[in-house]
Amino acid sequence: MAKVYRSAVIDASADRVWALVRDFNALPKWHPAIAESAIEGGLPSDQVGCIRRFTLRSDGGLLREQLLALSDLDRTCTYNILISPMPVANYVATLRFTPITAGDKTFAEWWAEFDVTSGPEQATTSDIGDNVFVVGFASINKLVSGK
């Protein structure tokens, strides 16, 4: 089982950040790697159990992910991967946003556990950590802080 953990400071309040990322169908709005997204079966994107179906901007690769938990109280979102082009299995990830009271900023965390099904584990874990999670944080920061 591989684990990835990344965290960063976002220069806006946790409520502002959460308003952007809470929508499970909003990846294309804030993650530069994602082209299009839809919730299957026309479900609301905050209905736990709903599935988002989205494509990568780079090569059109398709992913399906299921919302496992959503908490407005803790500002967390947990989901797993059903289908993806990545060499991973049993992938479960969580996003969490914690207020930083000194300066009214946000502590963003994103972590995942999964099995790597082919290729070197390190390559897959750093690809997910740096190119998915950290890139996502930087993009959120740009959108909500205007910097």
Partner 1 sequence: MTKVFVSAVIDAPIERVWAKVRDFNNLPKWHPKFSRSHIEDGLPSDRIGCIRNFDIAGGGGTIRERLLTLSDIDHTFTYCILTSPLPVAGYVATLKLYPVTVGNQTLGVWTAEFDVTSGKEADVVDAVGNGTFGKAFEVLNERLARPEGAI
Contact residue for partner 1 among 13, 98, 139, 145 (CB under 8 A)? 98
Nearer to partner 1, 33 or 100 (CB): 100
CB of 106: closest distance to partner 1 in angstroms? 10
The stretches of 14-63 forming alpha helices (DSSP H) are 14-21, 27-30
What ranges in 1-147 are assigned the alpha helix state H? Answer: 14-21, 27-30, 121-126, 135-145
Helix, strand, coil tally for the chain in percent (to 5): 25, 45, 30
* Binding flag, residue 87, partner 1 (CB under 8 A): no
Q: Does 135 bind partner 1 (CB under 8 A)?
A: no
- Residue 145 lies near partner 1 (rule: CB under 8 A): no
143 binds partner 1 (CB under 8 A): no
DSSP state of 82: E
